[in-house]
Structure 1
Amino acid sequence: MTGALDAVGPAPEAARRYREQGWWRDTTFSDSLRCAARQEPKSTALLTWRRRENRLVRLSFAELDLRADAVAEALRGLGVRRGEVVACRLPSWWETAVLMVACLRAGAVVAPLPLLFGPYETERALATTGAVACAVPDEWGGVPHARVLAEQASRLPRLRHRIIIGDASDTGGVSLRASFNGERVAAERGEPLGPDAVCALLFSSGTTGRSHIVAHSSNTLLAGLDDRAQTLGSDGRVCATTGGLNYSSGLRQLMRILELRVPALYSDCRDPGRWLDLIADTGVTDVRTSPRKLRTLTDEQRRRPRDLSRLRVVHSLAGPLPPVLLTAVQETLCPVVLNTWGMTETSSLISTGPADPAHWAGHSIGLPHICAQTRLLPETETDAETQTKASAGSRPRAEAGVGAAAERSGEVLRLWVRGPQVCLATLDRDTGRVLWSPAHDDGWLDTGDLVSHDGSGGLRFVGRVAERIGDRWLIPVADVEHALLTYPGIRDAVLVPWTDPDGHEVPCAIVISTTLPHLPALRAHLRARYGFHESYLPVRVARVDAFPLTELGKVRRRVLADRLRTTQ
């Protein structure tokens, strides 16, 4: 993939414009760390909970800076050269953050691999990216990661080094323990990656469509940090994200640590009780998490309340926020809840704001941030000529017929985005071939998400093109799922496509509930309370104990639908 990455980069004119506008810079997040280590060496940068050791590890800016330098030298000592890929398949440990900065300083491209990946997916990702090194734990979550990687190595000719966090003696890997603890070694001087170079290869979740690889630079990662929530102030802030460092939300949280000098909390434990204990004990002020994680947190807080008085804001990411869940979060965790839209290819670039009405996050995803541009096309439209642009704080302005009329009619529109926070390219997960770059469509990226106007100048999330249900009538998946949560006994619900006897695609509700809901009563509830069109109503309902989830808390809908088909 190294050859393909050499051709990936921003258009010179766009790079110049983004610098003039102040969104891009001539420094990287590595430079931000150096500055923080010099000016605030003893201030806490990182807090990571280590489940196996049952302890919280704190690193200051100076400690993080020193260890990143030492690991960068160790990588160069292993022969890692500029532009080569170093894969990272680690939990949210401090070593993960150190390695990510170290790769930038060594001139390497980091490729975080989700722990959700099984051996097959991991091997495929290592082969496609051409990773020359891969860091894994010796064992974690009951999986002998070091042994699995050792077995795969013979089929990965480009993989020269296996870096093991923990015991490396049994599998022939490299430890680098001393370097991770800050011990410097003599190494050939390398050239760090610049702000416009590809520095990270992220894997999209693939929950609703085919997963692909997303190429980001330091500038595209940093550009989206100035979101609307910054109006809440920065004094005394401590941020927490439940998304792992191997995902875009966790990586961007690392950027906040270095750029805004705000300590951040991570944990390798998913248990909601542990998370609430950590949030209370460390004085977390800002939490970034998924709606489904919020549901488990509210349930746990009701079971055993903690002191969350320092919590100022909850950011709901990675999915629509049902109104009933919003109310539960406001009652149990924090009254200020922001609904934020984003994706691996972009930052979180659309959100509600702290000045919005309290209920608004359950209705809208808000306004685009000031650096973002959006284009709204009819759901079936593919012609890039029709567009609507929007900027933060202003009503979207129709430029070619989609706008006021669509807002009045509630028309479903397809969302495209453009701006300094959009990635440099997306690549095929099997071949590494470039699928999209800013050179395509004048920099416009088709998100695959469906939205409508929220009635106050912002946007409502309707669903995803890959999740759309209905071959005769488009079903608003998010609205129906939210409505299902108001039926007695249903704790969570998703809608998946089902084929009726006539061969038409119709909705099936899969629910987590105490008992299996009576389908006629459920349909009557949705019809009476919400006035849904007959085609929106589930024709089948199935009950499960739990949904298969990604590490970000997104439902793996295809897995769920496949299970349903095999058990019919």
Structure 2
Amino acid sequence: MADRTTAVTQPRPPAPLREGETIFTALHQVASALPNHLALMSGGAGGERATRITYSQLLEHVERFADVLTLCGVRRGETVALQMPNCWGSATLLLACLRIGALAVPIPQTVTTHQLEHTLATTGASTCVVYDGHHGHHNAQELLAVSARLPDLRHRIVVGDARTTGALDFERLCRDRSGVWQADEEHPHPLPRDTDNPCLAIPDFNHRTPTTINYQHKRLSTHALTTTHAAANSGEPRTPMNEIFGTTYPLTHPTGLTTAIWQPILTAGTSVFPELWNPAECLDLFEESRVTHIAGPPEHWQQLIEEQRRRPRRLPQLCHATTHGSAPAPLAVGVRKAFGIPLHIHPDH
């Protein structure tokens, strides 16, 4: 994996998106111009080294995973549910769904069996990909238990032990896809251009009956760029177009997806996020990666403040801190004292 020290230190941003262009236009531009630039850095839980993925590697994985979904029969317009841990593979699989024009539905691993079944039923998911055995989550068994009551569900795909539940083995599918499409051939899936149609359906489990909120390519890109430009115009010192976006929001949350995927790719930046929430390990990861931005929910910020007071980390490039929703007034004071920068509070979107 490429280290950030080997990347171009001042990458130029992709060209502004034109009508009909999506995040994949920017991804191809950055992967072509800056193949060794660090795209994302994730993990670092339990003392393990964080995984680093360059832009060329990210594009390669997205195309490979898109091939796997195609081999499973997923077609443009169908719904693919993803119940995965907070890791680089989750971000890549989500992009692969969007790459072939499918509607992606990210689902937390912690939902109840009833919530899982309700979400799969109401979204009409034809395929569900789960990661089994991750930190005690046995999502493959739970998916098998509800699958008989889901007539739209055609494929159960498991990362991990697929044999026990009779599901498709994702890792085997990845090995078997060799020869399906070569980089020098015309890709069987043109880049998606339907920027006004939903590409993401994010479940909201804060209600008795879960609901989903749809997001379009245009809405996600516009929000990501607006947020980035707001940071650029905030008057805080920063390094233009070499941003390192850290987030403690999960990849099942709109802000987590914006900060971990859309903002970095649209600005040729780098995404940094933990696999598991742990304030000490999270700050260690942010210190190692030299983040310039941190986004997190209020409860995470409070724990980060306490951890930074306990053992200060050097974050010399950090210039922007954000949270969403309602945050208590003392939180902003705590962020400024612990990290030396103001906390920007944005409304939920």
Q: What TM-score range do you get, normalising by the shorter chain?
A: 0.7 to 0.9
User: C-alpha distance in 2, partners of 1:91/1:287?
Assistant: 20
Q: Which moved more, 1:264-273 or 1:178-187?
A: 178-187
Taking every aligned residue pair, what percent have the same amino acid on both sides? 28
Q: 1:54 matched to which residue of 2?
A: 48
User: How is 1:509-524 mapped onto 2 (pairs within 5 angstroms)?
Assistant: none
Q: 1:108: how far off?
A: 1.0
The alpha-carbon distance between structure 1 residues 164 and 46, as it changes in their structure 2 partners (threshold 3 A), is same
Please tell me whether the aligned partners of residues 243 and 264 of structure 2 are also in contact (alpha carbons under 8 angstroms): no
2:335 to 322, 329, 346: 329
Please tell me whether the aligned partners of residues 70 and 183 of structure 1 are also in contact (alpha carbons under 8 angstroms): yes
User: C-alpha distance in 1, partners of 2:17/2:40?
Assistant: 25
Q: 1:291 matched to which residue of 2?
A: 298
Q: 2:219 matched to which residue of 1?
A: 220
Residue deviations 1:28-65, cap 9 Å, x none?
11221111111111100011105378231111111110
Please tell me whether the aligned partners of residues 245 and 291 of structure 2 are also in contact (alpha carbons under 8 angstroms): yes
Paired amino acid for 1:175: D
User: C-alpha distance in 1, partners of 2:53/2:126?
Assistant: 28
2:84 to 90, 93, 100: 90
- State the structure with more CA Rg: 1
SS of structure 1 residue aligned to 2:135: coil
Higher strand share: 1
Residue deviations 1:419-458, cap 9 Å, x none?
xxxxxxxxxxxxxxxxxxxxxxxxxxxxxxxxxxxxxxxx
2:36 to 42, 52, 56: 42
Residue deviations 1:491-541, cap 9 Å, x none?
xxxxxxxxxxxxxxxxxxxxxxxxxxxxxxxxxxxxxxxxxxxxxxxxxxx
SS of structure 2 residue aligned to 1:342: coil
Higher helix share: 2
User: C-alpha distance in 1, partners of 2:200/2:307?
Assistant: 35
User: How is 1:163-174 mapped onto 2 (pairs within 5 angstroms)?
Assistant: 163-174=157-168
Paired amino acid for 2:153: L
SS of structure 1 residue aligned to 2:317: coil
Q: Which runs of 5+ in 2 are unaligned?
A: 1-15, 182-186
1:230 to 226, 229, 232: 232
Q: 1:161 matched to which residue of 2?
A: 155
The alpha-carbon distance between structure 1 residues 150 and 131, as it changes in their structure 2 partners (threshold 3 A), is same
Q: 1:262: how far off?
A: 0.8
RMSD value, Cα: 2.3
Residue deviations 1:456-509, cap 9 Å, x none?
xxxxxxxxxxxxxxxxxxxxxxxxxxxxxxxxxxxxxxxxxxxxxxxxxxxxxx
Q: 1:233: how far off?
A: 4.8
Question: Are 2:269 and 1:262 equivalent residues in the alignment?
Answer: yes
User: How is 1:60-459 mapped onto 2 (pairs within 5 angstroms)?
Assistant: 60-177=54-171, 184-186=178-180, 189-190=188-189, 192-194=191-193, 195-206=195-206, 211-224=210-223, 225-227=225-227, 228-231=230-233, 232-253=238-259, 254-317=261-324, 319-343=325-349
User: C-alpha distance in 1, partners of 2:240/2:82?
Assistant: 31
User: C-alpha distance in 1, partners of 2:85/2:287?
Assistant: 22
Please tell me whether the aligned partners of residues 104 and 192 of structure 1 are also in contact (alpha carbons under 8 angstroms): no
Q: 1:179: how far off?
A: 6.0
User: C-alpha distance in 1, partners of 2:176/2:63?
Assistant: 8
User: C-alpha distance in 1, partners of 2:222/2:91?
Assistant: 19
Q: 1:221: how far off?
A: 0.8
User: C-alpha distance in 2, partners of 1:151/1:300?
Assistant: 41
Paired amino acid for 2:200: A
Please tell me whether the aligned partners of residues 150 and 171 of structure 1 are also in contact (alpha carbons under 8 angstroms): yes
User: C-alpha distance in 2, partners of 1:136/1:50?
Assistant: 21
TM-score (ref. length: structure 1): 0.53
The alpha-carbon distance between structure 1 residues 335 and 113, as it changes in their structure 2 partners (threshold 3 A), is same
Q: Which moved more, 1:170-179 or 1:142-151?
A: 170-179
Please tell me whether the aligned partners of residues 86 and 109 of structure 1 are also in contact (alpha carbons under 8 angstroms): yes
Residue deviations 1:47-96, cap 9 Å, x none?
11053782311111111101111111111111111100000111221111
Please tell me whether the aligned partners of residues 66 and 182 of structure 1 are also in contact (alpha carbons under 8 angstroms): no
Please tell me whether the aligned partners of residues 245 and 271 of structure 2 are also in contact (alpha carbons under 8 angstroms): yes
Residue deviations 1:185-210, cap 9 Å, x none?
42793455322222111123526x86
Paired amino acid for 2:141: R
Paired amino acid for 1:311: L
Please tell me whether the aligned partners of residues 44 and 285 of structure 2 are also in contact (alpha carbons under 8 angstroms): no
Q: 1:236: how far off?
A: 3.4
The alpha-carbon distance between structure 1 residues 192 and 151, as it changes in their structure 2 partners (threshold 3 A), is farther
User: C-alpha distance in 1, partners of 2:203/2:39?
Assistant: 26
Query: Which of structures 1 and 2 has the larger relative contact order (alpha carbons within 8 angstroms, sep 6+)?
Result: 2
Paired amino acid for 1:40: L
SS of structure 2 residue aligned to 1:55: coil
TM-score (ref. length: structure 2): 0.85
User: C-alpha distance in 2, partners of 1:177/1:53?
Assistant: 25
Q: Which runs of 5+ in 1 are unaligned?
A: 1-21, 344-568
SS of structure 1 residue aligned to 2:129: strand
User: C-alpha distance in 1, partners of 2:177/2:244?
Assistant: 29
User: C-alpha distance in 2, partners of 1:23/1:212?
Assistant: 31
SS of structure 2 residue aligned to 1:155: coil
Please tell me whether the aligned partners of residues 87 and 110 of structure 1 are also in contact (alpha carbons under 8 angstroms): yes
Q: 1:275: how far off?
A: 0.7
Q: 1:308: how far off?
A: 2.1
User: C-alpha distance in 1, partners of 2:304/2:34?
Assistant: 33
